[in-house]
């Protein structure tokens, strides 16, 4: 029986876990022996007992579990030390960002370990059940708005008070992908005036359907790329875009950047303009 191991994430600030008790049950039903490192689910408020109840074996010695596993599933990119613990011929399923973690990739290759990078799964209809990016992008868009609202020194909504009127906050969102659209919806629910910039003309309808205003750009060339991403634009287009967007940024209280560049680092952040 193949053995699957779910380790506790060690990356700074990482609170996620690669599997829940519900998915553990599915692994066991598929014929896998599942081991979970003690405390793996603590950051996600999942107690060890729930994994035990689901049929997993809790292990305190992570080193032995790493070396004995046929399959390891995790969230964050493994460290070189973690990769060194895996046995030859094993399989690793995780976010990998291989272009930025060549030392880890080399270590895995030397040990003949098959690694499956979840962020590289094609974002197509057929592969939707394996789309590990969209759910995380949606959370990023949602949380970035909440963080900005908490830190901004004014209200998001329009308020009518006895002392006068408090104007709503102005939010500019860069990119109308999964994260950007979630940010639009969240900011609008909080009462902000929302503007969105995207090089894809098709994003306009989606932005407006959520109550946002689309920042019109010179669309002599299409920004539509493959797989739902935007493509790289000409320098002339980018120059005009900067000029137009800068006018809106200068009046904004909050700027949210959520665009994901294929092969790059996700920029899920919010900046309050105080």
Looking at the structure, tell me whether residues 148 and 268 fall in a common domain.
Answer: yes
DSSP-assigned letter for residue 162: T
Which has the higher per-residue pLDDT, 184 or 135? 184
Looking at the structure, tell me whether residues 114 and 67 fall in a common domain.
Answer: yes
Indicate if the pLDDT at residue 263 is higher than 80: no
Indicate if the pLDDT at residue 265 is higher than 90: no
Which has the higher per-residue pLDDT, 231 or 173? 173
Q: Can you tell me the mean pLDDT for 176-189?
A: 95
Looking at the structure, tell me whether residues 139 and 27 fall in a common domain.
Answer: no
Query: Which of the four pLDDT bands, split at 50, 70 and 90, describes residue 208?
Result: very high
Measure the CA–CA gap between 237 and 218, rounded to whole angstroms. Answer: 7
Look at 157-161, 217-221, 253-257 and tell me which has the smallest mean pLDDT. Answer: 217-221
Looking at the structure, tell me whether residues 218 and 99 fall in a common domain.
Answer: no
Looking at the structure, tell me whether residues 108 and 35 fall in a common domain.
Answer: yes
Return the percentage of the chain with pLDDT > 90, whole number.
Answer: 70
128 falls within a domain: no
Indicate if the pLDDT at residue 18 is higher than 70: yes
Contact between 156 and 146 under an 8 Å Cβ cutoff? The reply is no
> Residue 219's pLDDT is what?
64
Indicate if the pLDDT at residue 8 is higher than 70: yes
Q: What is the domain range of residue 225?
A: 134-272
> Residue 267's pLDDT is what?
44
Looking at the structure, tell me whether residues 139 and 264 fall in a common domain.
Answer: yes
- Structural domains counted in the chain: 2
127 falls within a domain: no
> Residue 217's pLDDT is what?
82
Looking at the structure, tell me whether residues 86 and 172 fall in a common domain.
Answer: no
> Residue 27's pLDDT is what?
98
Looking at the structure, tell me whether residues 160 and 263 fall in a common domain.
Answer: yes
Query: Which of the four pLDDT bands, split at 50, 70 and 90, describes residue 269?
Result: low
Looking at the structure, tell me whether residues 240 and 162 fall in a common domain.
Answer: yes
What are the pLDDT digits (tens) for 80-120? 999 999 999 999 999 999 989 999 999 999 999 999 999 88
What are the pLDDT digits (tens) for 238-251? 888 889 999 999 99
126 falls within a domain: no
- For residue 39, give the H/E element and its range: none
> Residue 232's pLDDT is what?
67
- Dihedral over alpha carbons 59, 62, 68, 71 (to 10 degrees): 90
What are the pLDDT digits (tens) for 36-56? 999 999 999 999 999 999 999
Quote the tokens at residue 126: 């057929």
As annotated, the active-site residues are: 123, 128, 131, 134, 229
Mean pLDDT of the chain: 89
Looking at the structure, tell me whether residues 83 and 143 fall in a common domain.
Answer: no
DSSP-assigned letter for residue 126: T
Looking at the structure, tell me whether residues 105 and 51 fall in a common domain.
Answer: yes
Quote the tokens at residue 78: 């493994």
Residue that is last in its domain, among 120, 151, 174: 120
Measure the CA–CA gap between 10 and 92, rounded to whole angstroms. Answer: 16
> CATH code at 58?
3.40.50.720
């Amino acid at each position: 029986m193949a053995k699957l191991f779910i380790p506790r994430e060690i990356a700074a600030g990482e609170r996620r876990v690669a599997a829940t008790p519900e998915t553990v049950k599915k692994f066991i039903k598929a014929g896998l022996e599942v081991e979970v490192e003690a405390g793996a689910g603590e950051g996600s408020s999942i107690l060890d007992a729930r994994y035990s109840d689901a049929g997993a074996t809790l292990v305190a010695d992570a080193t032995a579990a790493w070396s004995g596993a046929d399959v390891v599933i995790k969230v964050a990119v493994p460290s070189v030390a973690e990769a060194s613990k895996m046995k030859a011929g094993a399989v690793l399923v995780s976010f990998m960002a291989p272009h930025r973690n060549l030392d880890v990739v080399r270590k895995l290759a030397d040990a003949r370990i098959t690694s499956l990078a979840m962020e590289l799964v094609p974002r197509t209809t057929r592969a939707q059940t394996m789309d590990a990016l969209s759910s995380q992008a949606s959370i990023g868009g949602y949380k970035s708005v909440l963080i900005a609202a908490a830190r901004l020194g004014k209200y998001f909504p329009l308020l009518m008070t006895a002392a006068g009127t408090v104007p709503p906050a102005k939010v500019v969102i860069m990119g109308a992908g999964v994260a950007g659209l979630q940010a639009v919806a969240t900011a609008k629910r909080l009462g902000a005036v929302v503007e969105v910039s995207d090089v894809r003309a098709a994003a306009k309808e989606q932005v407006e359907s959520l109550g946002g205003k689309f920042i019109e750009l010179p669309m002599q060339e299409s920004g539509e790329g493959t797989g739902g991403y935007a493509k790289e634009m000409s320098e002339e287009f980018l120059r005009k875009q900067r000029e137009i967007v800068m006018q809106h940024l200068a009046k904004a209280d909050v700027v949210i950047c959520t665009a994901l560049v294929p092969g790059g680092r996700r920029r899920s952040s919010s900046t309050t303009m105080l």
